[in-house]
Chains A and B, each alone.
Chain A
Amino acid sequence: MSPGHYLALSAILFTIGGLGVLVRRNAIVVFMCVELMLNACNLAFVSFSRMHGNLDGQIIAFFVMVVAAAEVVVGLAIIMTIFRTRRSSSVDDANLLKY
């Protein structure tokens, strides 16, 4: 398979992730969709790395993984806190801040 196919796959994954963020209600699932978008970015980086024949893209993928891991720590802590208070992790229930 040519790297182009992987790029198409990465675009599809990114779109699925983006749509998921927009339509899903559960904060954890929304967050998983963001992670899916980040992984789509990684796939794109690695495919481009192969196409250009330099290693930058693969190194960047490692950086992104580290950042994504840090983001999981912070994100789950925040979602846990609000879940313990509200007994719900639906993003629709968090509706006090408006107007």
Chain B
Amino acid sequence: MVAAGLAAAPSGGEKFPAPHIEYGMLAPMLIVFGVAVAGVLVEAFVSRRSRYYVQVPLTAVGLVAAFAWTIGLAARDKPFHAAAMGAIGVDGPTLFVQGTVLVLALVSLLLIAERQQTSFAAQASALPGSEAEQETTAAGTTQTEVFPLMLFAVGGMLMFPASNDLLTMFAALEIMSLPLYLLCGLARRRRLLSQEAAVKYFLLGAFSSAFFLYGTALLYGYAGSVRLSDIADQLSKDAGSETLMLAGVGLLSVGLLFKIGAVPFHMWKPDVYQGAPTPITGLMASCTLVAAFGALMRVYYVGFETLKWDWRPFMWGVAILTMVAGAVIAITQTDLKRLLAYSSVAHAGFLLTGMVAVTRDGLAGALFYLVAYGFTTVGAFAVITMVRDAGGEAAHLSRWAGLGRRSPLVAGIFAFFLLAFAGIPLTSGFTGKFAVFKAAVEGHATPLVVVGVLSSAVAAFFYVRVIVVMFFSEPEADGPTVVAGPATAAAVALGVTATVVLGVLPQPMLDLAGHAATQMFVR
């Protein structure tokens, strides 16, 4: 029988159709991946001294080109397509998320490329404290592989929210995460902490992606396909094994919630944010969260939309836990990077409030929130890279005592970012929170909003505590100094501008987010 099958094959009983790929619609991703590969070639062929000067413009051009193409796609009449045989969805929300990721990656690039206070090891393979390390540091080399690695991660982030089937999504998840695991371990100072962060992030990240994959396997068993639309069809038919379906949805959710850092899957976030080089923390806190949230919404809105009465109570619980735990644990933190990590956990909870509404307003609110939070958080981490003492960044809260007297401008800017995190009016944080809470109330999730407002009040306490430490305590004699490199200063300026503009004049961006959300994710 096998022989007969083989004999019949060449005669063309069943032709294998060539896949149809819309290169134009995939171009943003292809540009970023292409430039990343070119960056690897630069590492191989350009002399060590001039690599930095080739890599930085190359990376910037790649990101700008991808962003311009994304704008071009979004400006067309109907940007709603499923490209590459339905594997990649190109639609309003996805393009919005991709554009946000690209802009925030450009701002993070400013931090990563900063030369005056470089955050990356001269040679990551040299042992901390060894002669080899001293030699490479004295030679003034830097690990320029950072730039291609960052581009690969950004490419994965573009693909993650666009994936219309779970296999593509798994591949995107790994493309996004693997370079980030490496980047976490490349800090120039406190290298033990950095390496520890890399190991923790890697082991936990791999663990969570195994859950994601087993969930995918069970959903494949349930629906016979990993395409989100096929899973949705099978769900609306109410056929197949419910056990497989529920277990699959649960395991898949573990993987996705890990990536956004929702409680109880948040344990990696403080450790990784604290240990990683601060520019990479900025990249993770903004771009990764945006991309992962886009992917989470796509899976739930497209794949499990018919199941929303089942997953909404579950998401309620996760959102409440995330908001409360993030805000309460942050109170006891004494390290600023760790404090911002817990604040990021709490913000993931606020975003989930907008997501459980499952309405266009909820989607638009969450999209706006992502832009607002992304800019503020990159700016805040940029300020942290500027406050330094002999041992590098002085991230411990006690070292920031009296910073307001020594450098009022920097302390004032940081205080402004903290107020934006807290959601004070006239900052982007207020508009974002208002948008998601309003959508949640309209989506009959009022208790969630009450919890959200209460935990915002708790969160405001520790933000204000930092401000009090900065402005109302005596500066130490050997306190840290502010070192502002030009690129970092530019990143801070962009962060401040976005936070002010989105707070005072939010309407254009709200309109843009609303326009992007007019049609939900393409199936």
Contacts and interface: CB of A to CB of B under 8 A. Distances in A.
Please say whether chains A and B are actual partners in one complex: yes
Interface of A: 7, 10, 14, 17-18, 21, 27, 30-31, 34, 37-38, 40-41, 44-45, 47-48, 51-52, 54, 56-57, 60, 63-64, 67, 70-71, 74-75, 77-79, 81-82, 84-86, 91, 94-99
B195 A78 contact: yes
A17 B202 contact: no
B199 A78 contact: yes
Given A31-B203, A56-B225, A85-B191, A37 B275 contact: no
Contact of B214 (A27, A40, A67, A81): A40
Interface string B320-342: 00000000000011100010000
B182 A74 contact: yes
B196 interface: yes
Contact of B206 (A57, A63, A75): A75
A45 B206 CA distance: 19
A38 to B, nearest CB: 6
A7 B222 CA distance: 13
B202 A74 contact: yes
A97 B198 CA distance: 11
A30 B200 CA distance: 11
Interface string B206-233: 1100110110111011001110000000
Given A41-B210, A67-B170, A78-B185, A30 B203 contact: yes
Given A81-B195, A97-B271, A48 B207 contact: no
Across the A-B interface, the 7 shortest Cβ-Cβ residue pairs: A37-B210, A44-B217, A48-B221, A97-B271, A52-B224, A94-B196, A41-B213
Interface in B155-192: 167, 170-171, 174, 178, 181-182, 185, 191-192
Contact of B213 (A64, A77, A78): A64
B171 A63 contact: yes
Contacts of A57: 217, 220
Contacts of B127: 84-85
A37 B196 CA distance: 23
Question: Chain A interface secondary structure, helix, strand, loop or mixed?
Answer: helix
Interface string B453-492: 0000000000000000000000000000000000000000
A70 B178 contact: yes
Nearest to B201: A78
Contacts of B197: 97
Nearest to B195: A82
Given A85-B192, A86-B192, A97-B196, A31 B206 contact: yes
Given A34-B203, A97-B193, A78 B210 contact: no
B299 to A, nearest CB: 17
Contacts of A85: 127-128, 191-192, 195
Interface residues of B, number: 45
A57 B225 CA distance: 8
13 contacts: A21-B207, A48-B221, A54-B224, A54-B225, A57-B217, A60-B167, A60-B220, A63-B167, A64-B170, A70-B178, A79-B202, A81-B198, A85-B128
A51 B221 CA distance: 8
Contact of A56 (B192, B210, B226): B226
Contacts of A54: 224-225
A59 to B, nearest CB: 8
Contact of B334 (A64, A70, A99): A99
B333 to A, nearest CB: 8
Given A7-B221, A97-B271, 8 more contacts: A17-B210, A41-B214, A63-B171, A70-B174, A71-B174, A71-B206, A81-B124, A97-B193
A47 B198 CA distance: 35
A14 B185 CA distance: 29
